């Protein structure tokens, strides 16, 4: 076992992946109702997160039970973690770009989002080793914290439930990455478990946001 609660975290990853794909589906479904470009980028971002989490959780469980009789399970786990970090980087760059433009009421984000995704994918071969994975986790924490800041700005101006759901959702996601980073640095399985739980809670809040946005007809 890589660390305590490894199986629990793997199961949390699978559940979070399902919720992330649900967010992606409803964001895609309601983007025309609301006329929001943010929902389009949110749909793509959470599709990346959902697929990444499902693949990561599945590989973790296969490695834990040694289903494929892997010679080096730790290398497999680190590889899966590295790939998911790349997907997260692309996803949160897309979401952060779209949300910033929504808050600031600026121009279209299509070009910036695509470039960010390509840059993140090109960085994939660099994500090897525990230290580099921790650095990648720190980068994602900074990206999500930026979205939280934008969410706080939006909520301070709008003060409605939809903006509160976004703020709390990304705040929980930021806490999850902080917990996973500290869990790695301190070798604490408890912090990993808390991080995975906070991530699932954040995804659920964003799912509520997307569903309510579609029913209200605005974002």
pTM flag (> 0.85): no
Domain ranges of the chain: 6-216
From 185, 183, 130, select the one nearest 4 (Cα to Cα): 183
For residue 14, what pLDDT is reported?
94
Residue 42 CA to residue 64 CA, distance in Å, equals 32
User: Of the candidates 162, 49, 53, 50, which has an alpha carbon nearest to the alpha carbon of residue 99?
Assistant: 162
CATH topology of domain 6-216: Rhopdopsin 7-helix transmembrane proteins (1.20.1070)
Q: What is the DSSP letter of 187?
A: T
In order of 11, 23, 34, 106, the CA distances from 198 in angstroms are 14, 16, 28, 31
pLDDT for the residue 70: 58
Confidence of residue 71 (pLDDT cuts 50, 70, 90): low
13's tokens: 């990853």
pLDDT of residue 67: 67
Cα-based distances in Å from 120 to 81, 82, 93, 181, 217: 14, 11, 9, 19, 33
In this structure, is the dihedral angle defined by the CA atoms of residues 10, 15, 21 and 27, taken in order, positive or negative?
negative
Where are the alpha helices (H) located in 124-188, listed in sequence order?
A: 130-158, 161-186
Residue 186 confidence (pLDDT): 87
Cβ(3)–Cβ(192) under 8 Å? yes
Backbone phi, psi, residue 198, to 5°: -65, -35
What's the rounded mean pLDDT across residues 18-29?
94
pLDDT digits (tens, 9 = 90+) for 138-160: 889 998 998 899 889 888 888 88
Q: Are residues 58 and 14 in contact, defined by beta-carbon separation less than 8 angstroms?
A: yes
């Amino acid at each position: 076992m890589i660390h305590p609660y490894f199986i629990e975290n793997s199961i949390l990853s699978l559940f979070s992946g399902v919720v992330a794909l649900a967010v992606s589906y409803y964001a895609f479904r309601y983007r025309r109702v609301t006329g929001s470009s943010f929902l389009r980028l949110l749909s793509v971002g959470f599709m990346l997160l959902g697929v990444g989490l499902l693949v990561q959780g599945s590989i973790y469980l296969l490695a834990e039970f040694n289903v494929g009789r892997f010679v080096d399970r730790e290398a497999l786990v680190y590889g899966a973690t590295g790939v998911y970090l790349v997907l997260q980087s692309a996803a949160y760059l897309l979401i952060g770009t779209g949300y910033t433009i929504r808050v600031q009421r600026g121009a279209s984000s299509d070009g910036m989002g695509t470039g960010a995704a390509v840059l993140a994918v090109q960085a994939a071969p660099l994500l090897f080793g525990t230290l580099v994975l921790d650095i990648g986790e720190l980068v994602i924490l900074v990206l999500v914290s930026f979205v939280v800041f934008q969410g706080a700005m939006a909520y301070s101006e709008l003060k409605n439930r939809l903006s509160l759901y976004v703020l709390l959702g990304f705040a929980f996601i930021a806490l999850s990455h902080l917990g996973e980073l500290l869990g790695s640095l301190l070798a604490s399985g408890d912090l990993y478990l808390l991080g995975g739980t906070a991530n699932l809670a954040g995804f659920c809040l964003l799912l509520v946001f997307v569903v309510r946005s579609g029913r209200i007809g605005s974002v």
